Amino acid sequence: SLGWKSDTGNSGVPLTLHGWAPHYFAIAPSGSDGDMLARATVESSRDPNVQETLKYLKDR
């Protein structure tokens, strides 16, 4: 998956890994919508307001 083809194997499939261990990571084709979504998710997770909201929701 993620762009693998039997005739080319894994050559030419640029992938990007985003996340924070050990809770979340995403592997997506570089430059894809999934790559941009993963990048934005990781960046927003560093926002103190988002962290407080997630902490609040986790404790419920």
pLDDT of residue 26: 80
Q: Are 21 and 27 in contact (CB under 8 A)?
A: no
DSSP 8-state code for residue 9: B
pTM above 0.75, yes or no: no
Which pLDDT tens digit goes with each residue over 13-36?
777 877 766 667 788 888 889 889
Domain spans in the chain, listed from the N-terminal domain onward = 15-58
Cα–Cα dist 48/28, whole Å: 26
Amino acid at residue number 25: F
